[in-house]
Amino acid sequence: MALPVKDQLRYWGIAAAIFVLLLWALGDVLLPFVIGGAIAYFLDPVADRLEGWGLSRIAATGLITVVGVLGFVLMVLMVVPALVTQLIELIEVLPSLIKQLRGFIEQQFPSLLDRESSSHQFLVSLGETLKSKSGDVLQSVAASFSSAINVVVLLVIVPVVAVYLLLDWDRMVARIGELLPRDHAPTIKRLAGEIDGVLASFVRGMGTVCLILGTYYAVALMAVGLQFGLIVGFIAGLVTFIPYLGALIGGMLAIGLALFQFWGDWVQIGLVAGIFALGQVTEGNFLTPKLVGNSVGLHPVWLLLALSVFGALFGFVGMLIAVPVAAALGVLARFATSIYLESRLYTGLESPEPADQKDE
């Protein structure tokens, strides 16, 4: 005989409260394990595919580990130094860009920036602030990053956790299924399957889209000679998970830099604009429909709200778990809505009489 609903709510409420308290108290400690679990979840379909091709789980995990380590080493040696260098150069050159922009506006539209106007004073103060604070910004970012994340610990623990979880992923899922309450196991498994489908579509799909578009923007912009093409492509790819925002931010930044670098060479400026137009068309008509699908169920506003709330409550770990929690809450909300639409609270004590019976 199942427990009364009141007792079940009490037990599940206590479990949820304990989970939230542990997450709040152990956030920094849990960070490597959350990242390792996310990597294992992301790579589990790859391991399953390799198993389908005849490899054992151990061999599939070993192959994925070797490829991942080689890819990480290659990225550290080739991409990261260039990315950091371009970021530092961009921050250092910002004051001169602001100065050139002010000179261009004064030359072309002198009436808009009278030296006594507030707009002129704003640009002057903005340029001076960027010049004086650019070094402080870099130092603050580096200090915050170092204090928030112990890089050595992450580099040691995260791969180990990811490998062990990937190796035992299917067994862990089966074991959790055996521990579910028998009365609710079918419903929980169905909801878990829906949550997994949302996460698979969004996290894996949008992660792949961001990687493809970021690489495309960076390579294409560097190919046409844009000075900070790598960092612009990185920024554009990073925010692609928000529809249109990646192309908008990256496009505005790239075209703005192109105007300063290629002023008068409208072909080069047009090429930069065309790169983002082609990327946007490709994303909307091919990449997102094929890799993400149309039934993800995570609205961008809901995702931003989840990132903001969990980031404020639990820090960086909260931001990492915001997407899966948002997906789970979305599935549970749709499930609760379907129950409500079938309940007496919605339908009332008596069902409405069909229209054809009223006519009779």
Task: Give a yes or no: residue 277 inside a domain.
Answer: no
Q: Is residue 187 part of a domain?
A: no
In a domain, 340, yes or no: no
Per-residue pLDDT tens digits of the chain, which is 360 residues long = 567 767 777 887 888 888 878 777 776 677 788 788 888 888 888 899 999 898 899 999 999 999 988 887 887 777 667 666 766 766 666 667 666 666 666 666 565 555 666 665 665 666 566 555 555 544 544 444 444 445 666 777 888 888 999 999 888 888 888 888 887 788 888 888 888 887 777 777 777 888 888 888 888 888 888 877 777 888 888 777 666 666 777 788 788 778 777 777 788 888 888 888 888 888 877 877 777 665 456 666 777 787 788 878 777 667 767 777 887 888 888 888 888 888 888 887 665 555 555 554
User: 193: closest CA among 183, 201, 182, 205?
Assistant: 201
- Of the candidates 14, 12, 41, the one whose C-alpha atom is nearest the C-alpha of residue 181 is 12
Is position 141 within any domain?
A: yes
**Overall pTM surpassing 0.85 (yes/no):** no
| Three-class DSSP category at 8 | helix
92: in domain: yes
Number of domain units in the chain: 1
Q: How far apart are CA 212 and CA 200, in angstroms?
A: 17
Q: Count CB neighbours of 82 within 10 A.
A: 13
The answer to whether residue 64 sits within a structural domain is yes
> Between the CA of residue 348 and those of 107, 342, 343, 344, what are the distances in Å?
72, 10, 8, 5
Structural domain including 125 reads: 24-176
The size of the chain, in residues, is 360
Domain-located, residue 91? yes
Residue 114 lies in a domain: yes
Nearest to 202 by CA among 336, 293, 100, 85: 293
